[in-house]
């Protein structure tokens, strides 16, 4: 079973990440979970596979990431008498793990918690790296902590029940890692050719595990060197400035918003002279292979909302509220590596006013 450890440089913080069949009771370290946090669908479909222990049900999807849900989870911790010796297990997608990680890392100043991700997006991205959070006043991830899960266990068999939209959403983050890393990981993602492997066959399981393992290696490597996003980790926000703005105003799946963000930011990079047209095409080909939106217009269409002036103004306003901004400027990364544009990025400081102007004219 492939396993790796994410050790944060200069801190005692670490996370063990393994990939392989999930066996309740065996996958997790030491003590049985004192509480299992999952949404209603995950409890219904996978409940019997989970270890015994009290269940805390949270809402499905992004709506779980709010103050009311956080309070409800804390209420359950209180009722169950959880203390610092209690381990919390979160099973589900990134919305569940972001909420559960925040609830656990703040309860009594921090309980140990572990994740069993059940979406592709959570396996390749959300469950790794220790960012927890909820949305606040319509803004993404405004409240959160950096807290590493003690363990993450990825069983790709969970992925076979995802619908095509949710699977593609996860592919958007894998594509982001392919752009960042280039080389063999980019080749692996391109070689899938938009065809989804299924864990029900041995070859499919191997392909999914390679996809998940490659992404985790890339992300864990970056986070281990820069947990708090003071430098290199900012690159993991590739596509996320415009992406988060689109997600906030359109309510489309996270990965679809990131896909439109990756494409739009790369187009901006072409205008600013950082990205060449062959790199843009390579990225657009990858996104279209998975039917992911490759423009802001496509993101509006996916949401069923008119792409008129006011929508773009709202997107620019949401962008100006980005928590990554510094004063009236935002740092945006553009793909500019030696592997046909992949494998490295350049960062560019752009004034929010200038960005707002581009937001109106980008496709």
Altogether, the residues listed in the chain come to a count of 363
Helix (H, G, I), strand (E, B) or coil at 341: strand
Which tokens is 275 given? 């990205």
Interface residue with ligand NAD among 33, 129, 293, 311 (CB under 6 A) is 129
Interface residue with ligand NAD among 122, 152, 181, 333 (CB under 6 A) is 122
The one-character DSSP state at 275 is S
Which one of the spans 50-58, 95-103, 291-299, 342-350 is the region binding ligand NAD (CB under 6 A)?
95-103
- Rounded CA-CA distance 89/149 in Å is 9
Q: Smallest distance from the beta carbon of 39 to ligand NAD, in angstroms?
A: 5
- Rounded CA-CA distance 223/121 in Å is 17
Which one of the spans 89-97, 148-156, 286-294, 313-321 is the region binding ligand NAD (CB under 6 A)?
89-97
Q: Which residues are catalytic?
A: 109, 131, 173, 219, 229, 233, 237, 240, 244, 254
Which one of the spans 6-14, 59-67, 190-198, 281-289 is the region binding ligand NAD (CB under 6 A)?
59-67
Query: How many other C-beta atoms can be found within 10 angstroms of the C-beta atom of residue 161?
Result: 12
Using N-to-C axis directions, what is the helix angle for 67-80 and 94-106, rounded to 10°? 60
Residue 92 near ligand NAD by CB under 6 A = yes
- With beta carbons less than 8 A apart as the criterion, state whether 246 and 261 touch: yes
Interface residue with ligand NAD among 20, 53, 61, 194 (CB under 6 A) is 61
- With beta carbons less than 8 A apart as the criterion, state whether 130 and 13 touch: yes
For ligand NAD, what does the binding mask look like between residues 153 and 172, x meaning CB under 6 A?
A: -----x--xx---x--x---
Residue 39 near ligand NAD by CB under 6 A = yes
Residue 100 near ligand NAD by CB under 6 A = no
- With beta carbons less than 8 A apart as the criterion, state whether 240 and 266 touch: no
- Rounded CA-CA distance 147/112 in Å is 9
Residue 55 near ligand NAD by CB under 6 A = no
| One-character DSSP codes across 100-123 | HHHHHHHGGG---EEEEE-SHHII
Which residue, 65 or 153, has its beta carbon nearer to ligand NAD?
A: 65
Find the distance separating the first CA and the last CA of the chain, reported in whole Å.
44
Which residue, 27 or 336, has its beta carbon nearer to ligand NAD?
A: 27
Interface residue with ligand NAD among 151, 177, 254, 274 (CB under 6 A) is 254
Which residue, 105 or 279, has its beta carbon nearer to ligand NAD?
A: 105
Which one of the spans 37-45, 181-189, 289-297, 301-309 is the region binding ligand NAD (CB under 6 A)?
37-45
Phi-psi label, residue 163: left if phi above 0, alpha if psi -120 to 50, beta otherwise: beta
Which one of the spans 90-98, 200-208, 263-271, 310-318 is the region binding ligand NAD (CB under 6 A)?
90-98
- Rounded CA-CA distance 192/249 in Å is 31
Size of the site for ligand NAD (CB under 6 A): 28
Q: Smallest distance from the beta carbon of 233 to ligand NAD, in angstroms?
A: 10
Residue 237 near ligand NAD by CB under 6 A = no
Which tokens is 301 given? 């269409």
Distance of CA 353 to the CA centre of its chain: 28
Residues found near ligand NAD in the complex (CB under 6 A): 39, 41-42, 60-62, 65, 92-96, 98, 118-119, 121-122, 125-126, 129, 131, 141, 158, 161-162, 166, 169, 254
């Amino acid at each position: 079973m492939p396993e790796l450890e994410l050790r944060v440089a200069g801190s005692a913080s670490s996370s063990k990440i393994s990939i392989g069949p999930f066996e309740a009771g065996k996958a997790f370290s030491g003590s049985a979970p004192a509480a299992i946090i999952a949404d209603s669908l995950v409890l219904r479909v996978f409940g019997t596979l989970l270890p015994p222990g009290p269940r805390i049900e949270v809402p499905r999807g992004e709506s779980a990431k709010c103050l009311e849900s956080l309070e409800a989870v804390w209420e359950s911790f209180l009722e169950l008498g959880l203390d610092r010796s209690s381990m919390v297990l979160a099973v589900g997608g990134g919305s569940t793990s972001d909420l559960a990680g925040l609830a656990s890392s703040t309860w009594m100043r921090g309980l140990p918690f572990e994740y069993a991700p059940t979406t592709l997006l959570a396996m390749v991205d959300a469950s790794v790296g220790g960012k927890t959070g909820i949305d606040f006043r319509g803004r993404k991830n405004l409240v959160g902590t950096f807290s590493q899960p003690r363990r993450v266990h990825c069983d790709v068999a969970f992925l076979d029940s995802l619908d095509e939209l949710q699977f593609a959403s996860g592919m958007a983050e894998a594509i982001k890692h392919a752009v960042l890393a280039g080389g063999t990981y980019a080749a692996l993602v391109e070689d899938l050719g938009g065809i989804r492997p299924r864990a029900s066959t041995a070859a499919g399981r191997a392909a999914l595990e390679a996809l998940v393992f490659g992404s985790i290696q890339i992300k864990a490597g970056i986070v281990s060197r820069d947990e708090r996003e003071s430098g290199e980790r900012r690159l993991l926000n590739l596509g996320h400035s415009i992406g988060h703005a689109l997600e906030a105003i359109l309510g489309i799946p996270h990965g679809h918003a990131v896909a439109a963000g990756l494409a739009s930011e790369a187009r901006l990079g072409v205008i600013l002279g950082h990205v060449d047209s062959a790199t843009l095409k390579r990225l657009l080909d990858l996104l279209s292979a998975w039917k992911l939106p490759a423009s802001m217009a496509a993101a509006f269409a996916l949401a069923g909302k008119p792409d008129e002036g006011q929508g773009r103004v709202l997107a620019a306003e949401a962008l100006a509220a980005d928590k990554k901004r510094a004063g009236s400027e935002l740092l945006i990364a553009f793909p500019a590596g030696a592997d046909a544009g992949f494998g490295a990025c350049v960062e560019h400081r752009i004034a929010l006013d200038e960005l707002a102007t581009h937001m109106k004219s980008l496709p």
